[in-house]
């Protein structure tokens, strides 16, 4: 090792002890207040760094890494990484990691909470009661849709999709249908109690549809006016994936005109901005991207990201091999800038 310690940038305030943990091994530049980093700010902050710890709010591509000649490792605190231009990182030899597994159950819990809240009109009922409207009660006030005995649809059947399927099948006795890029092996389908169907069949058959697929250019607005028109008008739509999967204006139109009964969104097309048309609707539950937001899970996510970051800087038990590398091929084909323990790396510029 050279005598220079690796330099690391932390893009947002995380937990109180996060920077201290990193500072045991690295020279850390931290960000003390929640900050919206534009491209210029990212370029400037990345320029001298060996590694960075970022959230999904930091969008990093070719422009942002152009001057970051020492950057070896980007640890993203989150499982989704559509904020990263992976081909650009690959071309530069920069390894990136995410935080799968630790947030699966917490995010599935949120998906199910939103489903129950939207289908049974919980938030709308709360507002109505607080508005002093109980005196206007009638037998048909706040009629919602059942979960038990209904058909649950899941679009995207990765870890979180499977955790939602288990909840629906084993917990609520729901029939569970899913659509995914690839069908699960039969024993896995059986374990989660879900059956594979085509996309159109999924839309048409389910009473409740939960979106949990990774966001890519191919599935931008996959839930558009045409897709919504295929759903039952009594159905519930839940999006806990990424905002761009749903055409929000088409959703507003369907909810406002009785073509979809209810919805819940945790993610939006233009976070943190929420369309006024969504805010104006009663039959939608809106939460501010809190899918993984339990204390234990957010702590676990930061720990996983820290471990990956340090590994990418040649430090710790996984030195040179970040466990959750999303472009691990750079490690096997030798194009990674990554640091391997014991090698002099921090003075090496490409």
Among 289, 302, 305, 330, binds ligand 8YV (CB under 6 A): 289
Closest by CA position to 260, among listed 241, 291, 239, 290: 239
Among 6, 51, 78, 111, contact with ligand 8YV (rule: CB under 6 A) = 78
Number of residues that bind ligand 8YV (CB under 6 A): 10
Bridge partners of 246, per DSSP, are: 223
Are 51 and 289 in contact by the 8 Å Cβ rule? The answer is no
Tokens found for residue 213: 């697929």
For ligand 8YV, the nearest residue by Cβ is 78
Structure tokens at 290: 């809190």
Could you say whether residue 96 binds ligand 8YV (CB under 6 A)? no
When the beta carbons of 135 and 272 are compared against ligand 8YV, the nearer one is: 272
In this chain, which stretch among 151-159, 219-227, 287-295, 333-341 interacts with ligand 8YV, using CB under 6 A? Answer: 287-295
State how far the Cα of 2 lies from the Cα of 313, in Å rounded to an integer: 13
Instruction: Please pick, among 37, 289, 298, 337, the residue that the annotation labels catalytic.
Output: 289
Question: Any catalytic annotation for residue 167?
Answer: no
Q: In whole angstroms, what is the distance from residue 260 CA to residue 282 CA?
A: 13
Cβ(120)–Cβ(144) below 8 Å: yes
Using rule CB under 6 A, residue 55 touches ligand 8YV: yes
Is residue 208 a contact point for ligand 8YV (CB under 6 A)? no
Does 51 sit near ligand 8YV (CB under 6 A)? no
Is residue 263 within 8 A of residue 255, CB to CB? The reply is: yes
Contact (CB, 8 A) for 244 and 215: yes
Query: Three-class SS of residue 178?
Result: strand
Residue 31 binds ligand 8YV (CB under 6 A): no
Residue with tokens 């809106």: 286
Instruction: Reply yes or no on whether 289 is catalytic.
Output: yes
Question: How many CB atoms are closer than 10 A to CB 230?
Answer: 14
* Least distance from ligand 8YV to the Cβ atom of residue 155, Å: 16
In the residue annotation, 130 being an active-site residue is answered as: no
Supply the minimum distance, in Å, between the C-beta of residue 349 and ligand 8YV: 31
Dist CA 345 CA 93 (whole Å): 14
Stretch that binds ligand 8YV, among 74-82, 139-147, 249-257, 326-334 (CB under 6 A): 74-82
Of 120, 179, 242, 298, which residue is the catalytic one?
A: 242
Q: Detail the DSSP E strand segments found in the chain.
A: 7-10, 27-29, 51-54, 73-76, 95-97, 151-155, 175-179, 194-196, 208-211, 236-239, 262-265, 284-286
Query: Which listed residue (4, 170, 271, 329) is catalytic?
Result: 271
Residue from 83, 239, 283, 292 in contact with ligand 8YV (CB under 6 A): 292
As measured in angstroms, the least distance from the Cβ of 28 to ligand 8YV is 20
The neighbour count for residue 201, using CB atoms within 10 Å, is 14
Partners of 194 in beta bridges: 176
* Residue from 291, 312, 320, 322 in contact with ligand 8YV (CB under 6 A): 291
56 lies in the site for ligand 8YV, by CB under 6 A:
yes
- Our finding on whether 79 is near ligand 8YV (CB under 6 A) is yes
Of 114-122, 146-154, 219-227, 286-294, the segment contacting ligand 8YV by CB under 6 A is: 286-294
Q: Can you give the binding site for ligand 8YV, defined by CB under 6 A?
A: 55-56, 77-80, 103, 289, 291-292
Catalytic residue numbers, as ranges: 242, 271, 289
């Amino acid at each position: 090792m050279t005598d220079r310690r690796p330099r690391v940038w932390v893009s947002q305030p995380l937990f109180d002890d996060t920077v201290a943990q990193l500072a045991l091994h690295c020279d850390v530049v931290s960000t003390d207040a929640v900050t919206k980093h534009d491209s210029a700010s990212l370029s400037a902050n990345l320029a001298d760094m060996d590694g960075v710890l970022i959230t999904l709010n930091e969008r990093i591509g070719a422009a942002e890494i152009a001057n970051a000649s020492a950057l070896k490792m980007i640890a993203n605190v989150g499982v989704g990484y559509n904020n990263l231009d992976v081909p650009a990182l690959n071309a530069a030899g920069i390894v990136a990691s995410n935080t799968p597994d630790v947030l699966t159950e917490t995010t599935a819990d949120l998906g199910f909470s939103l489903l129950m809240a939207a289908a049974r009109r919980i938030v709308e009922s709360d507002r109505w009661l607080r508005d002093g409207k109980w005196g206007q009660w009638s037998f048909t006030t706040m009629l919602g849709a059942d979960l038990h005995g209904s058909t649950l649809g899941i679009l995207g059947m990765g870890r979180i999709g499977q955790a939602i399927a288990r909840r629906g099948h084993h917990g609520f006795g729901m029939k569970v249908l899913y659509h995914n890029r690839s069908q699960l092996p039969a024993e896995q389908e059986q374990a989660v109690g879900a059956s594979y169907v085509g996309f159109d069949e999924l839309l048409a058959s389910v009473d409740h549809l939960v979106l949990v697929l990774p966001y890519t250019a191919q599935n931008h607005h996959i839930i558009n006016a045409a897709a919504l028109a295929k759903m039952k008008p009594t159905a519930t739509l839940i999006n806990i994936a990424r905002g761009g999967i749903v055409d929000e204006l088409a959703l507003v139109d369907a909810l406002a005109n009785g073509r979809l009964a209810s919805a819940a969104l945790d993610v939006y097309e233009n976070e943190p901005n929420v369309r006024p048309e969504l805010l104006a609707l009663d039959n939608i539950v809106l939460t501010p991207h809190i899918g993984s937001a339990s204390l234990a899970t957010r702590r676990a996510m930061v720990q996983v990201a820290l471990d990956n970051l340090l590994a990418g800087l040649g430090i710790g038990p996984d030195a040179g091999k970040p466990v959750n590398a999303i472009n691990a091929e750079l490690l096997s084909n030798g194009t990674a800038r990554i640091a391997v323990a014991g090698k002099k790396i921090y003075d090496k510029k490409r």
